[in-house]
Amino acid sequence: MQFPGFSSPASSGSGAPNALSSLLGAFLWLQTVQHIFVPYGPARCVSIGVLIIYLIITFPLTSTAARRIFAACLIISCGLLAVGSDPGQLYNGFDFALTFMAFLPSISMVRMLFKVVPSLVSLGDDIREISPDNRKRATLVLSNALGAIMSIGAFAAIAPLFNRVENPLERRQAGLTMMRGAALAMLWTPFTVGMGFASSNFPDVPLWKIMAVGFCISAFTIIFSLRNANRRDMSSVFGILRKLFLPITGSTATLVIANLVTGMSSLKLIILLVPPLSILFVFLASKDRRAAFASVGHSLWSDLGLMGNEMLLFVGSITMGALLSTNPHFLGLLNHLGLSEMPPYLIFPVFALGLIACAVIGLHASIIGPLVVAVYSGLNGQLSPFAAIILLLFGWSNASMLSVSSLGVAIITRSFSVNLRDVVWGENLLFALKLGAFLSASYAVLNLFGIQ
């Protein structure tokens, strides 16, 4: 199933990779896997040097937005170092960012399955058969289900529904609904950068607990939106969901069990488990295995050289966040604001509102994530790690559907002719505010019973 008109999942820049960038990407992938099993400081320092070379080589392929965000992070980081941040956090920032050199190709392998496995390829034809009357509801449900595996690739999979729709209002509604569905998926799926970032920064919180709560929030929101839907009218949508049921439940169950057994974060587990499981799935489900493996190998080699856009963002934002978390002036500002003196049930809604504001002013998700960790570190334990994770995922999902720096926003505005003002200030902002209020009220009730 080809997705014409959509960027590669691995990069939002333009152009083609060269052999050297793909080779360096493969080296960094393998070294990260080695580092998970046998951490070795000198090898990691070499990899940081290789990562810098990789970023230089791939810089011409990065987007203008990524360069601007990186430049802002670089300027802020220099300022933080000048006013007291621990220089040792530079290594920690690069070390953590390097992990994504193995995470991103693993996620790409999952998305490639939709191009080579017949049962998944046929989803495109199934989607086209959905009647016009059911498109909006189908868009919300399918963007959530597909977004759990494909992230913004779900936009491309659902787009055929609206290829022949000329009504600009319906196309606009479809684009905005699609963003809400994919954003809700980020609250529970382990196959996103946001979940990987969250579970790595809060390793003591079990993955199953994060996913269960996030899934309940997502399911409640979707079920509420379908309250007037006719079950018979939705039968075609449920038929598509049945095809996705086994891949989604099987993969998530495997990760949850592995997390319980090993205690590893979802980030590391995806790096270690997804590639071999994807290869096994292709072997078992493909009719022409040689052609399927050739397609996966070619796409993967290309993606290894096209991760500069994302890595530029991660290196800049994660390093900035690490420096921010140790900066005495930043921590002093938090104390001056009095957040750490508020009760938890007030901190949560203030935090949630601040995250929505961050998305509205255009901050990228890769900046919002480290910012949540930095602010949490200055709250002196007033919020539990689990509450911080929910806020981090909430902020990440808001950035994906509201921030002008989001690749998803760029795709929707271009492909569905949605005005940028409607994206940032329209019904999706109202949706974010309602969801934030729901989460805050739920947390306040739980807090009354001593549950954090």
Contacts of 182 (CB under 8 A, 6+ apart): 143, 144, 147, 151, 152, 154, 155, 400, 401, 408
CA atoms within 13 A on the CB side of 154: 31
| Annotated domain spans of the chain | 116-262
Dihedral over Cα of 171, 4, 116, 19: its sign? negative
Q: Long-range pairs for 3-6 at CB < 8 Å and ≥24 separation?
A: 3/153, 3/156, 3/157, 3/159, 5/156, 5/159, 5/415, 6/153, 6/155, 6/156, 6/159, 6/411, 6/415
Buried b / exposed e along 382-418 (16+ C-beta atoms within 10 A): bbbbbbbbbbbbbbbbbbbbbbbbbbbbbbbbebbeb
Tell me the residue ranges of DSSP E strands in 173-225.
Answer: none
Please report the pLDDT score of residue 339 as a whole number. 79
Please report the pLDDT score of residue 244 as a whole number. 79
**Cβ–Cβ < 8 Å for 395, 346:** no
| DSSP assignment of 14-36 | -S---HHHHHHHHHHHHHHHHHH
Please report the pLDDT score of residue 3 as a whole number. 31
CA distance 74 to 67: 10
Phi, psi (degrees; rounded to nearest 5) at 151: 55, -130
Please report the pLDDT score of residue 21 as a whole number. 94
Q: Walk along the chain (452 residues) and give the pLDDT tens digit of each residue.
A: 333 333 333 344 556 678 999 999 999 999 999 999 999 999 999 999 999 999 999 999 888 888 988 999 999 999 999 998 999 999 998 998 899 899 889 888 887 887 788 877 777 667 667 766 677 777 888 888 888 876 766 776 676 667 666 778 888 888 899 899 999 999 999 888 889 899 888 988 998 999 999 999 999 998 888 776 666 656 777 777 787 787 788 888 888 899 889 888 888 888 999 899 889 988 888 888 899 899 899 989 999 999 998 899 889 888 988 898 888 888 788 777 777 788 899 999 999 999 999 999 888 888 899 889 988 988 888 899 999 999 999 999 999 999 877 878 877 887 787 888 888 899 999 999 999 999 999 999 988 877 76
Helices marked H in 326-448: 328-337, 344-360, 365-377, 385-402, 407-415, 420-425, 427-448
Please report the pLDDT score of residue 2 as a whole number. 33
CA distance 42 to 419: 50
Please tell me what DSSP assigns to residue 352: H
CA distance 374 to 382: 14
Q: Give residue 376's identity as a one-letter amino acid code.
A: Y
Q: Give residue 286's identity as a one-letter amino acid code.
A: S
Please report the pLDDT score of residue 152 as a whole number. 67
Please tell me what DSSP assigns to residue 204: T
Q: What is the pTM of this model?
A: 0.79
Please tell me what DSSP assigns to residue 249: H
Please report the pLDDT score of residue 14 as a whole number. 53
Please report the pLDDT score of residue 230 as a whole number. 63
Residue with tokens 């190709």: 105
Tokens at residue 310, please?
């994302």
